Structure formats: C-alpha cells, structure tokens
Amino acid sequence: MRVAELTAYLVPLPLKREIKHASFTRTESINLLIRCRLADGTIGWGEGVPRPYVTGETPEGCLQQLAGSNLNPVFDLSASNWDEVITLCDALQFHKQTDNPRGCGSNSLRCAVELSLLDAFGKCFGQPISDLVQHVPEAAGIYLPQSQVRYSTTITSSGAKSERVSALKMRAYGFAQCKIKVGVEGQDDPSRVARIRHWIGRGVDLRLDANEAWKPEVVVRKMEPLRRYRVTCIEQPVAHAEVDALSTMRDAIGVPVMLDESLTSLVDAEHAIASQTCDLFNLRLSKCGGFLSCLRLAALAKRAGLGYQLGCHPGESGVLSAAGRHWACSVGNIRYLEGSYDRHLLSTLPTEEDITFRYGGRAPAITKPGLGVTIREDWLQSNSKSHLVVRGEAT
C-alpha cells in the first residue's frame, strides 16, 4: 500500500482558560493537522503543535517547510507491515533551516506527518499503532504493554484564589501527581507551593516547572525553600543557552532535574548525557519529532541510567492525546505522564471521540485500529485558517 496524498491544515483551538507560565501566556493553540490518504482511500490523521520558543517552528513555517520538501520517497515506498511503515517514516526528510544544529527545526511537522502515516496504515492493517512498538528494535528494553495508565495534572500561575480552587478540585478528583508552574515574575513561589501543598494534600506527588525562568546563580537559592514541601523534581530551571551550568549544581539543587526546552532531539539528548545536566528527559511527541523519536529517546535515557516522562503541550487535540495514550500504554517506567486534557482544556473537541482521562487521571488503552480517533471534517472545514495539499508525482 502506498501513500497517495497529504493535506496540511492550520487550525486555531481556543482554550477554556488562560495558560500562564514563565515563558508564555496563551489563550489558544494553533495546531497543524495532517490528513494522509492511502491509495485505497484509507484516511489517517496526525497533529503537531509548533512552539517557536521551543523548537523555533511557527505554524506558517511548517506549511512552508512541507511545501519545500522532497516527499517523493514517502510516495514511492510501499508498506504492507509495521517494519516497512517504520522504514517509510524514517525516510521523511523536510527542508530544514540552515542554522539548525540541534536537529529540531521540523519536529512538530515531522510528528504530524508521521502520526498521519501511522494512523492510516494502522487502519489499513486493522491494528492499533501501539502494535508498532514491538517492531522498533531500540525500544525492546522499554516495551511494556499496559491496559491502563494514569495521568498527572498541572497548576499554572493564576492567582491564589484560582490555585486554591484548582488544588481542591484535583484533590477531590483523586490525582496522584501534580506539576506546579513556578518562576513567573511577581509571584512568591514558596508561599504558593506551601498553599498548594496544604490544599492538595500530603499524599500527592508535587513537582515544579520553571520554564527557563531562573539564572544559574540563583537556582540553588530558589530551590532551598521549596524542597521542604517534598517536591520530587524541578523541570528546566534555566534557559537552554545556560543549561550546561546544571552539571555542577545538581547535587546542591537537592531534587532530580528534568530537561524540557533543552531536550528536543537526539543531539540534545546525547549532549545532556555527556554533560550530566539532568536526571530525567521530558519527552513530548510534537516537541521531539514524533512517536518513533520519543521511543528511541526514552530507550537512550534508560541505557544512560536516566528517567523520562511523557509530556504534552497545552492545546493538543484528541489526535495527539490518542497518540500519547498508545505510547504510554506501550512503555514501562514512565516517571510522570501528561496529556488527554481534551474536554478539560479545549472549548471544542475536534475529534468525534472524547478520550479525556477519567477519575484520578486514569485512562484505558485504546484498542481500535490506528490512533482510534477521527477528526470531525465538517468542523475542520469551518475552522481551518489555511491548508496545503501534497501529492506524489504518479498520483
């Protein structure tokens, strides 16, 4: 079976509430949706979430990269099993920025196209994309099928009253893990973390995310009053340009360090391991270049004795939520799991299916073919702001 056509759409997704952290404040997410049509008419969907301050990509830039790429190998190759689909996905080559030393300049685009291929071929084979994982040689050491996973939650910087309501709701909803955004200018983080710990309860695993907010010389001082609230991790405390400073201060920080903005690619991962700048990788499908890339990065982390989480970007639709579910239900020892916020965060669900997590963050494995979700095409036609069609030369 061959790929006949790829169609890219840019779609704004309004959020139910403002998401605020040290790097950005957003009320909507402009996502890239890819529709893959196979030669037999089978349709697959993929999604990417371009974030300029993470990988340097913009939504419009993704369309330009797609238009300027040579995708003939993808259209020329055929696939009749998962091994051949992996070969096809690995053949994806996009026009990249000249100055792209970290190898992340097309990651969200790659993620969207790759997921559309996996979804289409999974439907063609009558198999969920989680079946693919056991065919990825690098993933042998992390492969662990599970019937259910459990998501964590997040409290952003939104004022004492709102944070109290959020913490009490999360406590009542039975979450086991919660991330707190810190480092926003004008906020008193020790007071905030103390209040949230009181409201959410002693039994919840709390971790922090600074989103590059602190200078290296203040990290240890900033963390000292926060450790007493039994936080289990600090995520990306410094800007990527200064990430190497973490190698000499990890012991003094006193809690495990996770990289996010500094962990986008194999280049970043190998540098982090060699420089000993972290204890955990934050893997996000869109940020890190797709389903296969995240499998390989998680396997690399394990071989290096590091941990990993599967994260998400605020504003992901059910396409990325479903992809994350398949990934999480196939991989063992995920330290923290984020995603499937769909109904809780999006004003409208673009997918026919609602796969939002359930009480306590629990969510079952998806067993339907492909991703197991379908974009509402009537909604897409009404809401997409631009689109681009790419076809093979013989189509």
pLDDT in tens, 40-51: 999 999 999 999
Query: Does the pLDDT at position 393 exceed 80?
Result: no
The encoded tokens of residue 182 equal 């810190």
Round to whole Å and give the CA distance between 196 and 164: 7
The model's pTM:
0.96
- pLDDT value for 158: 74
**Higher pLDDT among residues 300 and 27, named by residue:** 300
HEC states along 182-244? CCCCCCCHHHHHHHHHHHHCCCCEEEEECCCCECHHHHHHHHCCCHHHCEEEEECCECHHHHH
pLDDT tens-place string over residues 214-261: 999 999 999 999 999 999 999 999 999 999 999 999 999 999 999 999
Indicate if the pLDDT at residue 297 is higher than 70. Answer: yes
Answer whether residue 97 shows pLDDT above 70.
no
Lowest mean pLDDT among 58-62, 80-84, 149-153, 388-392: 388-392
Q: Please, which pLDDT band fits residue 327 given cuts at 50, 70 and 90? A: very high
% residues pLDDT > 70 (the chain): 97
What is the model's pLDDT at position 300?
98
> Residue 279's pLDDT band (boundaries 50, 70, 90)?
very high
Name beta bridge partners: 283.
310
Mean pLDDT, to the nearest integer, of 133-153? 98
- Tens of pLDDT, residues 56-67: 999 999 999 999
Domains and CATH numbers, the chain: 3-126+377-391 (3.30.390.10), 137-364 (3.20.20.120)
The mean pLDDT value for 323-336 works out to 98
Is residue 134 over pLDDT 90?
yes
Structure confidence by residue, pLDDT tens digits, 304-314 = 999 999 999 99
For the chain, percent of residues with pLDDT exceeding 90: 89
Q: Is the pLDDT of residue 98 over 90?
A: no
Average pLDDT over residues 94-113: 86
Going by pLDDT thresholds of 50, 70 and 90, the confidence category of residue 392 is confident
**What is the average pLDDT score of the chain?**
95
Position 347 scores a pLDDT of 94
Specify the pLDDT at position 23: 60
Q: Please give the pLDDT value at position 264.
A: 98
- Name the pLDDT band for 22 (thresholds 50, 70, 90): low
pLDDT bin (cut points 50, 70, 90) of residue 80 is very high
pLDDT at residue 156, as a whole number: 86
